[in-house]
């Protein structure tokens, strides 16, 4: 089982939209997976059409009252979902200094015998204990990054966070950046892109997700871009990103 987290502690960078649409793209390409809503807000569930999210989900797994399989819901095209659950916020209120609690997700995942090829986590922006569990447990991080000054300024801190948790894990934390919400008419120039990649050479996806109102329209009605505008530019962007991730990093073959 491979574990990947869509991670960025900043809000508003498009983590949930990226997670939902990338997940569907991977499934359509023949890679069944389970999306995990690791954000107490539960926005991933709504993005997939569950506007009244189930009360049980990953919270029950963290409380050691259920297995991943028991709380998994089939949604569409080989895409399963593990909702956040109503008690995830309560569980996340614990202290980050509690190292055993910080390592709980990793311990539970290692004990799971799930047949799922891939778990793709949608991470919260501001929940230290949940973020610590993710960074100590998963195999890969996929980090959406806006191609603007804010994105550039956040990059050194993100790299430091990855380094810190790699040491805490005792093994490298693999990661890739994906440029997200890039205006179509102001694509990153070669010079601008090189400034980003120079800080983390080899860790930037070639695929870019362009900004599009179609993605937001699909999210509002609980659909992915493949269900609302399958022939659109955003659908092509996500298909290309899915292909690149399988080729570069995810051992799903």
pLDDT higher than threshold 50 for residue 200: yes
This prediction's pTM: 0.92
Among the residue ranges 13-27, 162-176, 237-251, the one predicted with the least confidence is 237-251
Q: What does the pLDDT read at residue 95?
A: 60
Q: What does the pLDDT read at residue 54?
A: 87
- The rounded mean pLDDT for the chain is 89
Q: Specify the CATH architecture of the domain 2-248.
A: 3-Layer(aba) Sandwich (3.40)
| Percent of residues, the chain, with pLDDT higher than 70 | 90
DSSP string for residues in 44-82:
HHHHTT-SS--S-SHHHHHTTSS-HHHH-EEEETTEEEE
Q: What does the pLDDT read at residue 44?
A: 96
Q: Residues 41, 20, 80, 169: what is their CA dihedral angle, to the nearest 10 degrees?
A: -70
**d(Cα 184, Cα 71) in Å, to the nearest integer?**
39
145-188: pLDDT as tens digits: 987 777 778 899 999 999 999 999 999 999 999 999 888 765 55
Residue 80, number of CB atoms within 10 A of its CB? 21
Three-state DSSP state, 152:
helix
Among the residue ranges 63-77, 78-92, 191-205, the one predicted with the least confidence is 191-205
| Overall average pLDDT of the 196-223 stretch | 90
**d(Cα 177, Cα 4) in Å, to the nearest integer?**
13
Q: What does the pLDDT read at residue 141?
A: 97
Token digits of residue 77:
């095209």
Three-state DSSP state, 91:
helix
């Amino acid at each position: 089982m491979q574990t990947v987290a869509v991670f960025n502690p900043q809000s508003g960078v498009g983590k949930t939209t990226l997670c939902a649409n990338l997940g569907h793209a991977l499934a359509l390409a023949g890679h069944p997976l389970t999306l995990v809503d690791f954000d107490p807000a539960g926005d991933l569930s709504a993005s997939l059409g569950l506007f009244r999210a189930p009360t049980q989900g990953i919270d029950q797994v963290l409380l050691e009252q259920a297995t991943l399989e028991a709380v998994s819901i089939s949604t569409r095209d080989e895409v399963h979902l593990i909702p956040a659950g109503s008690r995830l916020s309560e569980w996340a209120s614990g202290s980050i200094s509690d190292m055993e609690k910080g390592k709980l997700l990793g311990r539970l995942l290692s004990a799971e015998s799930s047949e799922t090829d891939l778990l793709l986590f949608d991470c919260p922006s501001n929940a230290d204990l949940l973020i610590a569990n993710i960074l100590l447990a998963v195999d890969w991080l996929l980090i959406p990054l806006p191609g603007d000054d804010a994105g550039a300024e956040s990059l050194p801190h993100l790299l430091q966070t990855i380094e810190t948790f790699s040491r805490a894990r005792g093994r490298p934390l693999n990661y890739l950046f994906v440029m997200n919400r890039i205006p179509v008419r102001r694509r990153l120039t070669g010079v601008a892109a090189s400034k980003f990649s120079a800080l983390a050479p080899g860790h930037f996806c070639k695929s870019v997700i362009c900004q599009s109102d179609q993605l937001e329209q699909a999210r509002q009605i609980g659909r992915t871009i493949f269900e609302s505008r399958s022939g659109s530019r955003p659908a092509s962007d996500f298909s290309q990103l899915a292909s690149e991730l399988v080729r570069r990093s995810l051992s799903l073959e």
